[in-house]
Structure 1
Amino acid sequence: MTESLSANEVTFRLSRSRRSVPRSRAALHAVLGGWGVGQDVLESAELVLSELVTNALRVPVPSDRQVGVRIARSLEDGLLRLEVSDAGSGRPGVRAPGDEETCGRGLLLVEAVAHRWGVEERAGGIGKTVWAELKAPDIVVEPEGREVAAVMVRLGQRVRVWGEWRAVLTVRTEPYAAGGLAVVLGLDEGPALRVHAAEPLTVRDGGVPSARESGEGTPR
């Protein structure tokens, strides 16, 4: 799973495997936990995203085509938006399966839970995006962060460097030749950051867990 983050949205891509559904739910939990979304909205969002990802994985496309996911929030409207994109053609619609049918209820559930939903063509690419919006009145503004000494930075936090937030993957200390202690932070993107232990850094907690060790390919 590969990912991209900003203050109000997270996007990532999933391989076409059964493991992608629980992975999408894990990412959703991490994001919504940081946004202060309540349990009721979280459970509804989990159901909606699971159904949308499951449907996308069933679309008949080449196995190397990945599924795109976007989780976004609108603070002004109090809305949570979930988008799932695939490379398949056509427009899915709500079905009314019989009592003995074991599938075909995905969009029926989405329609029942979501505030609204729809389908649109992917901008600048093949395939489509199925989206759903849920009312999330308790969604909150993410804190800008706090200043701490570099020696206080911990794994799992995000640090503000080069004008962007970077996830901290490793933390180690080493002595300067002239005396004093340096902190070396391994980040999810870019080179490691090496600073004096007492230097102030802006950090915040939480975020989507890094998936760089998952071994999955680049987005398509």
Structure 2
Amino acid sequence: MSEPYEVKFRLSRRRSSVPRARALLHSVLGDWGIGQETGEVAELILSELVTNALRVRVPNGRLVGVRIARLLDEGVLRLEVSDAGDGKPEVRKPEEDETCGRGLLLVEALAHRWGYERRSCGIGKTIWAELKAPDLMSAHDGAEVAACTVRAGQSVWRRGAWHLVRSVDTQQQASGGLTVVLRFDDGSAVRIDAAEPLTVRAANAAP
């Protein structure tokens, strides 16, 4: 199995962290080319997991950890939410008049699989959920390379489609880093950090 590509961030323990988590996930999935249908389900699952983590009693100052990973060989999107609380997450079936307690029930219904594990370092636990993401499999016939190595004539996988690279330019950043400017045959262009990974393939590769 290939190493997963991932994004990690931490959230403060406040209600505004739920929409913030959704917005960050939406941005990440857009960059990875995940389709709208899978993205909407993923955002709903992450919202429930973060909401549950915020309700857990934890020592003061403890943040909520989020990890978003893509496993290309399996075509799977994995969401993880960690908190410093005790206890075992259990699926409840609340009464019709109850207004909460359906979070994990929803996760169980939407996810391909889910579970939890104790954190290997530190206190607390991590609840994870995995979704089948066919868009990841579509991109897997390419190779992952740094943006600075992309050349004209190659195709780049972005936002769920292959784009033929017409030209490549580099620009020096004020900080001393390097930005790569890719111009595609459809007239669009993208500016990207030179070290950022991109999935590419030869222009004559089969679709």
Tell me the TM-score normalized by structure 2.
0.71
After superposition, the CA RMSD in angstroms is 2.3
Please list the CA deviations of residues 8-55 of structure 1 after superposition, one character each: whole Å capped at 9, or x if unmatched.
100000000111101101110111001111111001000000000000
Distance 1:92 1:144, change over 3 A: same
CA contact (8 A) 1:110 1:132 kept: yes
1:136 equivalent to 2:133? Answer yes
- Mark the CA change 1:105 to 1:206 in structure 2 (over 3 Å): closer, same or farther: farther
How far apart are 1:149 and its partner, in Å? 2.8
| Structure-2 residue corresponding to 1:66 | 63
Quote how far apart the aligned CAs of 1:205 are: 4.9
> AA paired with 1:17?
R
Cα shift at 1:71? 0.1
> Relative to structure 1, is the Cα distance of residues 206 and 134 closer, same or farther in structure 2, using a 3 angstrom cutoff?
farther
1:92-131 equivalent positions in 2, closer than 5 A: 92-131=89-128
Alignment of 1:192-211 (within 5 A): 192-193=175-176, 201-202=179-180, 205=191
Contact 1:30 1:206 (8 Å CA) reproduced: no
Give me the whole-angstrom Cα distance separating, in 2, the residues matched to 1:45 and 1:202. Answer: 30
The SS at the match of 1:32 is helix
Q: How many pairs are equivalent?
A: 159
The match for 1:23 is 20
Q: Give the residue type in structure 2 aligned to 1:97.
A: P
* Structure 2 CA distance for partners of 1:131 and 1:7, relative to 1, 3 Å: closer
TM-score normalized by the length of structure 1:
0.67
Secondary structure of 1:138 counterpart: helix
Quick one: percent identity of the two aligned structures? 62
- Distance in 1 separating the partners of 2:191 and 2:81: 27
User: Could you tell me how far apart the structure 2 residues matched to 1:137 and 1:113 are?
Assistant: 15
Instruction: Please tell me the residue identity of whatever aligns with 1:82.
Output: L
Quick one: which of 83, 87, 94 aligns to 1:86?
Answer: 83
Name the residue aligned to 2:169.
148
CA distance in 2 between partners of 1:123 and 1:75 (Å): 25
Task: In structure 1, list runs of 5 or more residues that go unmatched.
Answer: 1-5, 151-182, 186-191, 195-199, 208-220
Using a 3 Å threshold, how does the CA distance of structure 1 residues 40 and 105 change in structure 2: closer, same or farther?
same
Relative distance call for 1:17 and 1:98 in structure 2 (3 A) is same
